[in-house]
């Protein structure tokens, strides 16, 4: 299981941001073998680790650790692919945000999770749960929440990703509505970085750090604001094609792969249970168990294989410490992780990482 990949449209955003800073990026693109043909292809993707390295190299060259905020400022709805085009033609802001989260998978896949959109009174299945979540997230009844998944632990390779997503959504919402006051506040999961003063330049609302997740809170009345470029026929035509493509993407997965994708976001310091994964798949636990057995597997086998594949990807493709990887994958200690990794690959993770680096 890979960490994920994204459309080259996100590389376009990086290029626009560097141009905005008046810095040439051709040498960095050449380093990662990204040419004009790839940038023009609707099917071209880059791995998430490569994207993070490109961003890190651009930050180093520009001397601007707030590059993600610049990326957000130059983001347009079209950079979000089909999801952005649907948002552009949607009737109102609520419908637009629903498209951004629902069809994100067509433009990027991340094993850590998928973006989500809620209206506060629709949080959870029960009113009690709804009130609890509203309290934890500081959300008032009727407000909208556009949420990006956690990529904790944060480091110099991934801060810019969250900055770019939340500031990009902020910019897109302004473009869709033609108004500056739709977003009530922007919340970041990580502590305020050294460039915290920069956020006031890019957001015209309250910015909070060390929050429960990464998300925008939209004013309740803004959800009904019409989108400037709304078009019912265009929206329905685009959604028809988007639904077909989304179904094709899902049909291409075995049930084992679907379970593995559900496990990935839940591996965040704990080991997910069958019940938790079943809830993500909207199935009864016994149905999930039976379908895995039908494919010759089991839940424990899928869980182990997911942890193994993600372990290899994290060690090979990221700069996370072994302790951070152990935590992310739900191991009780770094020692337990190292034992498991050696059992899977025949090598200690540190040695495996060194060998992979020397082969690049």
* Short-list 80, 79, 77, CA closest to 88: 77
Give residue limits of the domains in the chain: 4-245, 254-359
Listed as ranges, residues in the chain with pLDDT below 70 are 1-2, 122-136, 251-252, 358-360
Query: C-alpha 245: how far from its chain's center?
Result: 19
pLDDT digits (tens, 9 = 90+) for 161-199: 999 999 999 999 999 999 999 999 999 999 999 999 999
Query: What's the pLDDT at 122?
Result: 57
Query: What's the pLDDT at 255?
Result: 87
Query: What's the pLDDT at 1?
Result: 56
Cβ atoms < 10 Å from Cβ of 307: 24
Q: Which pairing describes strands 183-187 and 206-208: parallel, antiparallel, or unpaired?
A: parallel
Contacts of 39 (CB under 8 A, 6+ apart): 8, 11, 12
Q: What is the pTM of this model?
A: 0.85
Query: What's the pLDDT at 126?
Result: 39
Q: Please give the angle made by the CA atoms of 271, 160 and 193, to the nearest 5 degrees.
A: 90
Q: Where are the beta strands (DSSP E) in 12-168?
A: 45-47, 108-110, 116-119, 144-148
Superfamily of domain 254-359: Homeodomain-like (1.10.10.60)
Contact 272, 330 (CB under 8 A): yes
Query: What's the pLDDT at 124?
Result: 46
Query: What's the pLDDT at 129?
Result: 43
Query: What's the pLDDT at 127?
Result: 42
């Amino acid at each position: 299981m890979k960490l994920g990949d994204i459309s080259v449209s996100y590389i376009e955003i990086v290029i626009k941001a560097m141009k905005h800073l008046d810095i040439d990026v051709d040498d960095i693109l050449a380093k990662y073998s990204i040419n004009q043909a790839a940038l023009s292809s609707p099917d071209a993707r880059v791995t998430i680790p490569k994207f993070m390295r490109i961003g890190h190299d651009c930050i180093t060259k520009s001397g601007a650790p707030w590059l993600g905020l610049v990326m957000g400022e130059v983001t347009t709805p079209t950079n979000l692919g089909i999801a952005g085009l649907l948002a552009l033609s949607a009737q109102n802001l609520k419908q637009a945000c629903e498209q951004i989260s629902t069809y994100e998978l067509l433009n990027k896949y991340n094993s850590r999770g998928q973006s989500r959109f809620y209206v506060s009174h629709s949080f959870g299945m029960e009113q009690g749960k709804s009130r609890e979540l509203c309290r934890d997230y500081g959300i008032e009844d009727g407000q909208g929440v556009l949420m990006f998944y956690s990529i904790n632990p944060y480091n110099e390779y991934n801060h810019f990703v969250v900055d770019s997503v939340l500031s990009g959504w902020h910019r897109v919402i302004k473009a869709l509505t033609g108004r500056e006051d739709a977003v009530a506040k922007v919340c970041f999961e990580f502590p305020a970085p050294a460039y915290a003063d920069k956020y006031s330049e890019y957001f015209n609302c309250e910015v909070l750090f060390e929050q429960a997740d990464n998300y925008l809170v939209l004013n309740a009345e803004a959800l009904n604001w019409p989108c400037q470029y709304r078009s019912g026929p265009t929206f329905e035509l685009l959604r028809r094609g988007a639904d077909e493509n989304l179904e094709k993407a899902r049909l291409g997965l075995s049930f084992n792969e679907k379970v593995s994708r559900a496990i990935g976001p839940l591996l965040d310091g704990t080991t997910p249970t069958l019940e938790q994964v079943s809830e993500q798949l909207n199935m009864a636990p016994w149905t999930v168990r039976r379908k895995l057995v039908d494919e010759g597997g089991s839940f424990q086998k899928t869980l182990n294989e997911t942890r193994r594949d993600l372990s290899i990807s994290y060690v090979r493709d990221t700069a996370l410490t072994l302790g951070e990887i152990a935590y992310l994958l739900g191991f009780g200690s770094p020692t337990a992780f190292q034992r498991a990794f050696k059992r899977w690959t025949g090598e200690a993770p540190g040695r495996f990482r060194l060998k992979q680096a020397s082969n690049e």
